[in-house]
Amino acid sequence: DAEESVLGGVLLDMHALDRVVEVMGADDFYRGSHRKIFRAMLTLSEKGEPIDLITLADTLKARGELQEIGGATYLAELADKVPSAANIVHYARIVREKAVLRSLINVCSEIVTRCYNGEEDIERFLDEAERLIFDVSEKRIRPSFFKMGDMIMDTIKLVEKLYERKELVTGVPTGFLDLDRMTAGLQPSDLIIVAARPSVGKTAFVLNIAQYVTLHANTAVGIFSMEMAKEQLVLRMLCSEARVDNAKVRTGYLGERDFPRLAMAAGRLAEAPIYIDDTPAQNVL
């Protein structure tokens, strides 16, 4: 049993607890008695005290939980379950994976029950179902600290790659030279927020970048619009690409030279990998 192996491994090597908590938590144990034992181990570790059969039994006894978990005899049995703590991280991952699966089963059961009831607004229910499943995904424990020795080698490789390329723009170019000089292009991990007062050109600026990225950098772009409809966005991009005044198009006062420009621009945009989602009331889920 993976749960018993984790607890037994910590009893054999108290320092193994540090590796375990990077993978799982007390709530990941299926058996309530195992959760109580693990929490007692964490308490001892936080106090800087040794974790062994005697200290663990004393801690559980002080909490009135020793008999609930099976007594000191059960603790001794746990210590005998595994020959060493060498594979404790593997056992901890198994416990964590099973916990995630149980959470997913519970969430799916709730969703199925509510589907059969059919008493909720469908749009709200779909959002709620997405949120419930997203919550399960977010409960996965991810490492927050990384060893410098592991990171520095990847960084050196990146420096070598940049040295070989010797390019001013190493990411995805935006078409705005000053911006590209400051950012070296759009980088994979970048989060860039464009903030300004209303009606000063934020949308036009972003759409221009999207056009340039797709038409010149051959990179797909996804646009999520919470204000403008997709038709408005496409019209803006079409006018921008054709170099035709948007006001002339909206009012219908187009010149003879404007139609060929619009037709050629439409052909280029039709082949561009641009995807627009104008679903109202969008959220991060």
Residues in contact with 43: Cβ distance below 8 Å, sequence separation at least 6, in sequence order: 59
Counting every residue, how long is the chain? 285
Q: Output the CA–CA distances (angstroms, integers) from residue 178 to 174, 192, 256, in the order listed.
A: 10, 15, 35
Q: Which residues pair with 224 in a beta bridge?
A: 277
Q: How far apart are CA 281 and CA 226, in angstroms?
A: 7
Q: How far apart are CA 16 and CA 55, in angstroms?
A: 17
Judged by DSSP in three states, 70 sits in coil
Provide the b/e sequence for 174-210 (b: ≥16 CB within 10 Å): beeeeebeebebbeeeeeeeeeeeeeeeebeebbbbb
On whether the CB atoms of residues 36 and 65 are closer than 8 A, the answer is yes
Q: How far apart are CA 91 and CA 163, in angstroms?
A: 43
Q: How far apart are CA 109 and CA 125, in angstroms?
A: 14
State the DSSP H helix or E strand holding residue 151, giving kind and residue range, or none if neither.
Answer: helix 148-165
CA 254 and chain centroid, separation: 47
Judge whether 65 counts as a catalytic residue. no
Q: Which of 46, 138, 164, 227 is catalytic?
A: 227
On whether the CB atoms of residues 5 and 91 are closer than 8 A, the answer is yes
Q: Which active-site residues does the annotation give? A: 227
